[in-house]
Structure 1
Amino acid sequence: MTQMARTRADSPPPGGTQTMSAHTTTGTIASPAQGAGSPHTPCAEVRPGEALDPRMPTRAHTRGDVILDLQHISLAFGGVKALTDISFDVCEHEIRAIIGPNGAGKSSMLNVINGVYHPQQGRIVFRGEERRQMHPTAAARQGIARTFQNIALFKGMTVLDNIMTGRNTLFRSGILAHALWWGPARAEEMRHRRKVEEVIDFLEIQAIRKTPVGRLPYGLQKRVELARALAAEPSMLLLDEPMAGMNVEEKQDMCRFILDVNQQFGTTIVLIEHDMGVVMDISDRVVVLDYGKKIGDGTPEEVKANPDVIRAYLGASH
């Protein structure tokens, strides 16, 4: 996986032949290693990294200020504690990975971020404003989109129609006007359709736009789900295991698209992924969860050297 995230596959992926520019490597943080009890690394200290391969350019976007700050988040379902006193932040334009063994609380944390779950304790500050009892629809309107660990598409609908559903929160005309497809509603739908076509071209799925999603192979369904999230034009994109179940070539394609989204659009990405090669290759910073608690936080290099993280992944007793 060392070069997976930085170069394109030799042959074009199914659904198109459009080419894109090469990708960049991850950023670095000029700070000591950070464990569960360490303070956050200020975003001001996050700088674009030098490419490990001198032929590769550095990131087009530098990391900005804190866009999301999670403070002492605790979440429980009855007597089961899913998250316990977890704090970390996400900087604008960065790729922030959340890793950990199965059952560590990673998906629960994404559900907290986009309003599916409401923590019993802690504060969530998004773009400087504290969020209380946020609903997923409100989170989407604020610019937070996500994909899911298990594909959540409308299998009987075409690729184009599935991606169009990602624009729902951006429509302004009423249901009746759209049903009649008349006047301003028709013009608005055409504008949204043009945006969707741009996403289709970007993800190189032109050839399957009229194909029902249920007839597509797994890897392309994952790409369609990414397209639906991108259609919402999010400022923050939450990806829950976007490469689960993929083969090596499909992972290569997904890596390059994730990096393109981050580099070309400046989209902030929070990523859950079990493939450590992918995580260490494309992430700027990594937070590690284990049994609902944070055990590590820092650059990929710092996390790899963290003894608590090593013990968790080697299955040492607690």
Structure 2
Amino acid sequence: MDRMAWQGQGMTRQADGPPEWRGAARGALGAGGGAAGGADAAGDAPAADAAAGLAGGAAGHGEARPHGAAQVLLDLQHISLSFGGVKALTDISFDVREHEIRAIIGPNGAGKSSMLNVINGVYHPQQGRIVFRGEERRRMHPTAAARQGIARTFQNIALFKGMTVLDNIMTGRNTRVRSGLLANALWWGPARREEMEHRRKVEEVIDFLEIQAIRKTPVGRLPYGLQKRVELARALAAEPSLLLLDEPMAGMNVEEKQDMCRFILDVNRQFGTTIVLIEHDMGVVMDISDRVVVLDYGKKIGDGTPGEVKSSPEVIRAYLGAAH
């Protein structure tokens, strides 16, 4: 099966790193680059694991993969978000280039998930500009964001537990349905052909993520790690150009993290999908990210390659605390 077939976005992309790069990153994780079991189901990471990741997590990755003159896909300018008197984000600016893996890290409560919610339209910032594909977006609704090519997964799994894996992934195709309600109810003519095409795309995603054996299993019966993979599959079924991942490896063991890293890297390299990733495991972040932005108490305190960020005194202080 041609894995490129289900997403035309990546058809013209050239490999922009050495062919052994992905294996090196995965090998580093297997050797202990990631914090084994360091995150619980809510995604919390002990300070010791963060320290280990900051100190040596980039060993398998080295510097960021070169992207040359990659165009800016998403540009966030001076974003500020408040809930009453609580400031969740304060004057944050950074960009996301096409085809890169851009990580957002920071301690709990730093505003990482709030930033993802701003990007896909769940929250509307009181100040700042959001420019996506060169056009400024004003008060974007999540459905409109999805139609523009932005898909996401969630920190807490948001699947239909009573539905099968196949049916859950099919819901990711909703924004691409063109037939009307009546035509779909009758399942006739163009509506029938359209659904068959959607099912073909979904089957390709299932093959890609290696979940053929559970395609007819209700999601509620699956272990946690497989449920996270199904949620990734649902997001990929939308054929996004920008994929937002909110702690995709939280609560996973080392083997599950290795598999998820492999799939994320394959999505990025084979399909050309741009990825914005929130993750507490510093070994994972330093291994697979091209650039990293660091938040702390809703403010940006670092931005650069993994090597630059891990050596920043302000970033180290945010994770480990200042000496007294």
Aligned mates of 1:193, 1:246 — CA distance in 2: 29
Aligned mates of 1:100, 1:8 — CA distance in 2: 20
1:260 pairs with 266, 274, 277, which one? 266
1:89 pairs with 83, 91, 95, which one? 95
User: In structure 2, what residue type is equivalent to 1:93?
Assistant: H
Alpha-carbon RMSD: 1.9
Does residue 311 in structure 1 map to residue 317 in structure 2?
yes
2:283 matched residue in structure 1: 277
2:36 matched residue in structure 1: none
Does residue 228 in structure 1 map to residue 234 in structure 2?
yes
Q: Deviations over 1:17-39 (max 9, x none)?
A: xxxxxxxx75846xxxxxxxxxx
2:135 matched residue in structure 1: 129
2:295 matched residue in structure 1: 289
2:66 matched residue in structure 1: 47
Aligned mates of 1:89, 1:75 — CA distance in 2: 17
The Cα shift of 1:78 comes to 0.1
Aligned mates of 2:302, 2:283 — CA distance in 1: 17
2:121 matched residue in structure 1: 115
Please show how residues 73-222 of structure 1 align to structure 2 within 5 Å. Answer: 73-222=79-228
Aligned mates of 1:309, 1:252 — CA distance in 2: 26
The Cα shift of 1:4 comes to 5.3
Does residue 67 in structure 1 map to residue 67 in structure 2?
no
User: In structure 2, what residue type is equivalent to 1:219?
Assistant: G
Contact 1:26–1:282 (CA under 8 A) maintained in structure 2: yes
Q: Deviations over 1:205-237 (max 9, x none)?
A: 000000000000000000000000000000000
Which ranges in structure 1 are unaligned for 5 or more consecutive residues? 10-24, 30-45, 49-61
Contact 1:164–1:193 (CA under 8 A) maintained in structure 2: yes
2:51 matched residue in structure 1: none
Contact 1:104–1:289 (CA under 8 A) maintained in structure 2: yes
Number of matched pairs: 273
SS of 2:87's partner is strand
Tell me: CA distance 1:8–1:300, structure 2 relative to 1, closer, same or farther (3 Å): closer
The Cα shift of 1:63 comes to 6.8
Aligned mates of 1:8, 1:305 — CA distance in 2: 20
Contact 2:29–2:283 (CA under 8 A) maintained in structure 1: no
The Cα shift of 1:47 comes to 1.6
Aligned mates of 2:29, 2:251 — CA distance in 1: 20
Tell me: CA distance 1:132–1:27, structure 2 relative to 1, closer, same or farther (3 Å): farther
Aligned mates of 2:296, 2:162 — CA distance in 1: 38
Aligned mates of 1:207, 1:265 — CA distance in 2: 24
Please show how residues 19-38 of structure 1 align to structure 2 within 5 Å. Answer: 28=63
Tell me: CA distance 1:195–1:6, structure 2 relative to 1, closer, same or farther (3 Å): farther
Contact 1:63–1:94 (CA under 8 A) maintained in structure 2: no
Normalization by structure 1: what TM-score?
Answer: 0.83
Normalization by structure 2: what TM-score?
Answer: 0.81
The Cα shift of 1:316 comes to 2.7
Aligned mates of 1:317, 1:241 — CA distance in 2: 29
Contact 2:99–2:275 (CA under 8 A) maintained in structure 1: yes
Contact 1:289–1:296 (CA under 8 A) maintained in structure 2: yes
The Cα shift of 1:5 comes to 2.6
Higher-RCO chain (CA-CA 8 Å, sequence separation at least 6): 2
Identity %: 87
Q: Deviations over 1:118-142 (max 9, x none)?
A: 0000000000000000000000000
User: In structure 1, what residue type is equivalent to 2:66?
Assistant: R
The Cα shift of 1:7 comes to 8.3
Contact 2:79–2:125 (CA under 8 A) maintained in structure 1: yes
The Cα shift of 1:238 comes to 0.1
Q: Deviations over 1:61-114 (max 9, x none)?
A: x67210000000000000000000000000000000000000000000000000
Aligned mates of 1:122, 1:175 — CA distance in 2: 39
Tell me: CA distance 1:169–1:298, structure 2 relative to 1, closer, same or farther (3 Å): same
